[in-house]
Amino acid sequence: MTTRAMWKADLNVGELRVPVKLYAAVQDANVHFRLLHSKDNTPVKQQMVDPSTQEPVAPEAITRAVQLDRGVFVRLTKEEQAALEPKPSRAITVERVVAAEKLDERWFDRPYYLGPDGDDEGYFALADTLEQKGWIGIAHWVMRNKSYAGALYGNEGYLLLDTLRNAQEIVAIDAVRTPPGRSPDPREIKLAETLIGTLEDKFDPDAYHDEHREKVLGLLEAKAKGKVVRFPKAAGRKPSDSLLKDLQASLKVGRRSATHGR
Amino acid sequence: MAAKKRTTRRSAEGKRSRRTTGAATAQRASDGESESAAPAHGGGPRAFWSGTITFGLVSVPVDLYPAVRSSRTPLRMLGPNDQLLQRRYYCSADDEALTNDDIVRGYEWPDGSFTVVNDEELESVAPRKSRDIDLQRFVSRDEIPPKMLQRPYVLAPAGESTKAYHLLAQTMEQTGRAGIATFIMRGREYLAAIFAEGGLLRATTMRFVDELRTPESIGLPAVPKLTGAQRKDAEAALTELKTDDLDLEALEDDYTRALLELAEAKRAAGRDVVEVEEDMSNEESETADIIDIMSVLKQRLGPASAAAPHTASEKTARARKDATAVAAAGRGSQKRSRKTAR
């Protein structure tokens, strides 16, 4: 089964122009419920209500407003809102290219796949070069009346474009220095390094599943068939009280599991 | 580092309205009653969640704080009587106004039929109650593809001793490793990556593979073999744009700035200003909570380092601190000039 493209655009990298299609990389896998009226199991609907009259307000009588201070709002007309929207465009423009480390994990918001739309060679060459060099293109575009900044990068031979959070959204954090006296001693550092070494592995995303989601679906299927289901619960684990002892004990366990294979 | 019994304090549970629908929502109520999140050091803003990183047999108690906040100013809905409108539920069949007690949750099957489930049933399949952030393996940081990253948090040390926290943060940073962990938060399972930078630990929840499309599932063509000649143009074009400077000004929220400027101009001109009785949103307190993270970290980890910030974003963050402090007091801060943000 193939996915339909959300949008078509020209990807501009300096002089290069590569036509692309944009696809959402995220697919909703959550179990969604609808709200029903318990009396007759019909879906509920939502309406906006004026709290002073308790009466629903018709959509055409609703205006949008911006809050400036507590209790102080300024109404905006439809024309004013429209004037704030960016001009429509079919261009995704890469403004600059930086090393991937320049953007830490906090910036990344929503991923999109780009697919080639007529120039496969240009598309795959860009994807490959970005991936091989570990570079990210900082791109800007306007889609559906909204302007976006994004990170263009290569992954497994394909181009992805992740929308980025904006600079104001990243909460201020300074680097901190370990206060003297609370620093781990060399023996602990050595052990911790060894422990991290034993737990070192390749990252395998396929190894992880949301089992809970699967259980909820199982419950729903069973219930639809009129069955009652129970699932066993796993037990927790108890921590100890010496950092050094814990590190040493962990290493023993780690080595054993490493020799016997995982 | 024994996870000491911490003083009971309600988590920020009820306050969070932005969450995914689904089973998680159903468990929120029960979860909030039986579990609690508490910063061990009493003061400071409330943690979003508290847990214990376990790697090997070592335990590192931590508090989670959101590492990002929304910068968008919401457009609120006003009615003709200058009232902030409220969302209400009605029966779609007979227009009867409904209260929470009249509403049940139903799963819709493809044929349009519903299976109604209640909280108790959903609880029976809830993940076990655990506060362990199970750090199972360490990988190279660049092995984590950005497409998996979901929501970032700052991890502040909790508990009496911060030694294990320092040890983990320091060692991970020196070895350039990221941790892969799984944990259960508010009735939902999470996969997370743990990063160490500047002496601090951060965690980002990650999308499970079934939440992501693949090139195959989308139907993209197979990756061809490329020759050096084919790569030449791409490489030249990219190299031309290569720089060491992440232009943070270009990553600012221009829309919100323009929106607030317009609103302020209209207020100054006395146009379309509406005074509304007490606004019910608790947005302000939430903003203040988030901005105080630095004070929590300072309190628990000692003073901020004088060393240069480690990332470009921390650099802006640092430069922006004054402007951000104003944001806690009111919304006018968004007006700050571009200069202060550099």
Domain chopping of chain B, boundaries: 13-71+124-211, 248-341
Give the residue-averaged pLDDT of A222-247.
64
CB contact under 8 Å between A1 and B88, yes or no, is: no
Which pLDDT tens digit goes with each residue over A113-165?
A: 999 999 999 999 999 999 999 999 999 999 999 999 999 999 999 999 999 99
* The pLDDT of residue A237: 47
CB contact under 8 Å between A97 and B242, yes or no, is: yes
Nearest beta carbon to residue B103 from set A36, A67, A122: A36
CA torsion through residues B13, A69, B339, B45, sign:
negative
Which chain B residues are closer than 8 Å to A254 by Cβ? Answer: 56
Residues 6+ apart with CB under 8 A from A20: A8, A9, A10, A11, A92, A114, A115, A116, A117, A123, A159
Distance CA B49, CA B32 (A): 11
Q: Which residue from B166, B337, B28 is spatially nearest to A181, judged by alpha carbons?
A: B166
Task: Using the predicted structure, report yes or no on whether residue B339 has a pLDDT greater than 50.
Answer: no
Radius of gyration of chain A (CA): 27
Half-sphere exposure in the Cβ direction for B24 (13 Å, CA)? 18
Task: Using the predicted structure, report yes or no on whether residue B296 has a pLDDT greater than 90.
Answer: no
Chain A to chain B, count of Cβ pairs less than 8 Å apart? 594
CA distance B265 to chain A (A): 10
The CATH number of the structural domain formed by B13-71+124-211 is 2.40.290.10
A207, amino acid identity = A
Give the residue-averaged pLDDT of A203-210.
92
Beta pairing, strands A55-56 & B103-108: unpaired
CB contact under 8 Å between A16 and B233, yes or no, is: yes
CA distance B10 to chain A (A): 22
Instruction: Tell me the pLDDT band of B313, cut-offs 50, 70 and 90.
Output: very low
Instruction: Tell me the pLDDT band of B110, cut-offs 50, 70 and 90.
Output: confident
* The pLDDT of residue B74: 82
Residues 6+ apart with CB under 8 A from B41: B158, B296, B299, B300
Among B13-27, B36-50, B196-210, B244-258, the range scoring the smallest mean pLDDT is B13-27
Hey, is the C-beta of B328 within 8 angstroms of any chain A C-beta?
A: no
Most confident range, picked from A233-237, B58-62, B334-338: B58-62
Mutate to test the interface with B, among A41, A64, A81, A105 (most CBs of B within 10 A): A105
CA distance A255 to chain B (A): 11
Instruction: Tell me the pLDDT band of A213, cut-offs 50, 70 and 90.
Output: confident
Distance CA A74, CA B270 (A): 9
Q: How many Å from the N-terminal Cα to the C-terminal Cα in chain B?
A: 41
**Is the CB of residue A117 less than 8 Å from the CB of residue B258?**
no
Task: Using the predicted structure, report yes or no on whether residue B334 has a pLDDT greater than 50.
Answer: no
* The pLDDT of residue B331: 35
* The pLDDT of residue A150: 98
Distance CA B301, CA B164 (A): 12
CB contact under 8 Å between B312 and A102, yes or no, is: yes
Give the residue-averaged pLDDT of A179-206.
86
What percent of chain B has pLDDT above 70?
70
- ∠ CA A186-B51-B2 to the nearest 5 degrees? 50
CA distance A18 to chain B (A): 10
Which pLDDT tens digit goes with each residue over B39-50?
A: 344 445 678 899
* The pLDDT of residue B126: 79
What the block records as the tokens of A97 is 């290219």
Give the residue-averaged pLDDT of B262-269.
96
What the block records as the tokens of B54 is 């376990």
Q: What is the mean pLDDT of chain A?
A: 87
DSSP symbols for B106-168: EEEPTTS-EEEE-HHHHHHTSPPP--EEEEEEEEEGGGS-GGGEEEEEEEEE-SS--HHHHHH
B179, amino acid identity = G
Give the residue-averaged pLDDT of B32-61.
67
CB contact under 8 Å between B105 and A35, yes or no, is: yes
Distance CA B25, CA B188 (A): 9
Which chain A residues are closer than 8 Å to B297 by Cβ? Answer: 173, 176
Distance CA B60, CA A254 (A): 18
- ∠ CA A154-A157-A162 to the nearest 5 degrees? 30
Q: Which residue from B109, B327, B145 is spatially nearest to A33, judged by alpha carbons?
A: B109
Instruction: Tell me the pLDDT band of A228, cut-offs 50, 70 and 90.
Output: low
Nearest beta carbon to residue B142 from set A100, A107, A253: A100
Neighbours of A32 (CB within 10 A): 13
CB contact under 8 Å between B230 and A125, yes or no, is: yes
**Is the CB of residue B24 less than 8 Å from the CB of residue B188?**
yes
Which pLDDT tens digit goes with each residue over B175-202?
A: 999 999 999 998 888 999 999 998 899 9
Among A126-135, B79-88, B291-300, the range scoring the smallest mean pLDDT is B291-300
* The pLDDT of residue B20: 33
Q: Which domains does chain A have, with CATH numbers?
A: 7-28+85-169 (2.40.290.10), 186-259 (no CATH)
* The pLDDT of residue B280: 54
For residues B24 and B163, which has the higher predicted lDDT (pLDDT)?
B163
